[in-house]
Amino acid sequence: MKKNLKIAIIGAGCRGNAYASLFHKAGTSISAMAEPRLFQRNSAAQSFNIDKTHIFSDWREMASLPKLADAVVIATQDNMHTEPALEFLRKGYHVLLEKPMAPSPEECISICNAAKKSGSIFAVCHVLRYTPYFRKLKELIDSGLAGEIITLRHIERVGYWHQAHAFVRGNWRNTSSAAPMIIAKSCHDMDIILYLTGKKCRRVSSFGSLMHFKRENMPASSSGRCMSCPLAEGQCPYSAKEIYLNSRALKGKFGWPVDIITNDLSIEGVKKALLDGPYGNCVYNCDNNVVDHQVVNMEFDNGMTSSFTMTAFTPDGLSRETEIMGSKGYIKGDSNLITTVDFASGKKQLFDITRTEGLLDDGHGGGDNGIVKDFISAVENEDQSMLSSGPEISLEGHLLGFAAEKSRINGSVEQLASLNVCHQS
Ligand SMILES: NC(=O)c1ccc[n+]([C@@H]2O[C@H](COP(=O)([O-])OP(=O)(O)OC[C@H]3O[C@@H](n4cnc5c(N)ncnc54)[C@H](O)[C@@H]3O)[C@@H](O)[C@H]2O)c1
C-alpha cells in the first residue's frame, strides 16, 4: 500500500481549489499546481504551501517534466479536459477528471481508451455517486424493497438564479465554449439513473429548448445592465443586484457564487464586477444558447422506462428528486429525505439523510468528500474497483447524454448500440 500521496492540481479555479482543500484535509500533500490566473495561482500556492518550483502557469509546463505527483486532479473547463487527461495518463499519473469528461463523444471515448490502456487509477467526478443520499437510495433499491423497477422518474431542479448565474451569464452559457446542458450539467443525472437502475439504456428521445432567456423576452424598460436597470430591485427575479449583492442566493455570505464573479469580495468589488463584467448583464441580453428546460425519455433493455426533467424554473437550486416505482414497492427521495412504501404490508419508512454525520461540511451533499476519500483509497491500494465512476461506466452516461442531445436537435429516437465502445487499443 502506497502512503503519503502527492496530488497535483490542474486548474485552480472553483473546483480545483475545492479538491485541493479536501485532499489537503485528508492528509495528502498538494505537491504541484498549474493555473494561468495569477490571483488564483498565488492564493492556492500559499494555502497549500506548494514549492515555488512546482507551480506553473500552464499544465503543459508541468507535463513536460518528470512526474511531480502520484495523481492529478484535472479541473480545467469542459473543453480543456481531453489534452491534459491524455497527456497525464500517458505519463503514468493517476487521474481524477472533472465532469463532463469532454464535450464530444469522440473525445470521451479517447479518454476512456487511454485510461484503460494506461493501467492508472482513473475516475470522473460524478460526485453524486459518492453522496450518502444516493448511496442510501441505491442500497434501498438493491435490497429489493421495490421489487423490479418498472418506472423511474428523476428531476433536476437547477434553480432560477443558478441557471442565470452559470448557464445564462456564466461559463456554461454557450456551446461554442462549453458542452450542451445535458452534458455540462445533466451528465450527472444520466449517470445517476444508470447507477441506480444498473441497467443498459437501449432507446432515448429528448425535447427541450432555450425558451425564456432570450432577447425577445427582455422587458421594454430594461436597460440591458442590472446596475442601471429600473427593474433591478424587487421586480426582476434574475436581477444581478439581487443575486450577488442583496443576497437572494447568498444567504448573507460572499462565498460562491460571488467569488466566481470577482476576486475582490468587498461590496465595492462586487459592484464593480456587476458594472463592468458579464455577470451584470441582463439575462435577456447575453450570448447564451444552452437550453433552460429539457426532458429525456429512456427505455432500458428489460423494458423499464425512465423520464428525466431538467428545468431552470424552480426556487431551490441544486436539489434533485427521484421516484422509483417497482413491482413490490415505491421509493421517493428529494436529496434529503427518502420515503419507502412496501405494497404487500403497507409499511412505510422514512430516512432522513440530513442527519448523516459531517454531511453539511463539504460540497455536493458529501459527494466531493466521498470521491476524494475513495480516490485516495483506490490509489493507495492500486485498486480501481474502489471507485464507482471509472472510465467505462462514466463513458456510458456521457454517451447516453450525447444521444439525448442528438434526439433533441434532430427530433429522432436514438438507439443506443451496445455501449461497449471503450476498447483497449
Ligand atoms: N463535479 C461537479 O459537480 C462539478 C461542479 C462544478 C463544475 N464542474 C466542472 O469542473 C470543471 C472546472 O469548473 P470550475 O467551476 O472550477 O471552473 P473555473 O473556471 O473556476 O476553473 C478552471 C481553471 O482552469 C484554469 N486553466 C485554464 N487554462 C489552464 C491551463 N492551460 N493549465 C492549467 N489551468 C488552466 C483557469 O484559469 C481556471 O482557474 C468544469 O469542467 C466544470 O464543468 C464539476
CATH number attached to the domain at 6-128: 3.40.50.720
Q: Name the class of domain 130-213+289-363+388-415.
A: alpha beta
Residue 70 sits at φ, ψ, to 5 deg, of -80, -35
Verify whether ligand 1 is closer than 6 Å to residue 127 (CB atom). yes
Verify whether ligand 1 is closer than 6 Å to residue 390 (CB atom). no
Residue 131 sits at φ, ψ, to 5 deg, of -90, 145
Alpha carbons 138 and 150: distance in angstroms, whole number = 15
C-alpha closest to that of 24 among 41, 40, 43, 9: 9
Give the Å distance between the CA of 17 and the centre of ligand 1.
9
**Residue pLDDT, tens place only, 331-346:** 999 999 999 999 999 9
Domain borders along the chain are 6-128, 130-213+289-363+388-415, 219-280
Q: Ligand 1 atom closest to Cα of 15?
A: 16
pLDDT of residue 255: 79
Looking at ligand 1, which residue's alpha carbon is closest to its atom 1? 125
Whole-structure pTM over 0.85, yes or no?
Answer: yes
Q: DSSP state, 263?
A: S
- Cβ neighbours of residue 13 under 8 Å, at least 6 residues apart? 35, 37, 40, 75, 76
Q: Tell me which of 342 and 318 has the higher pLDDT.
A: 342
Section 350-372 average pLDDT: 81
Whether residue 102 is predicted with pLDDT greater than 60 in this model: the reply is yes
Give the Å distance between the CA of 74 and the centre of ligand 1.
8
Lookup: cell for 218 = 427582455
pLDDT of residue 362: 63
Residue 378 sits at φ, ψ, to 5 deg, of -65, -40
**Residue pLDDT, tens place only, 370-387:** 999 999 999 999 999 999
| Other beta carbons within 10 Å of 362 | 17
Instruction: Write out 126-162 in H/E/C secondary structure.
Output: CHHHHCHHHHHHHHHHHCCCCCCEEEEEEEEECCHHH
Residue 387 to residues 79, 118, 221, 243, 328: CA-CA distances in angstroms? 24, 16, 53, 37, 30
Residue 406 sits at φ, ψ, to 5 deg, of -60, -45
Alpha carbons 421 and 202: distance in angstroms, whole number = 15
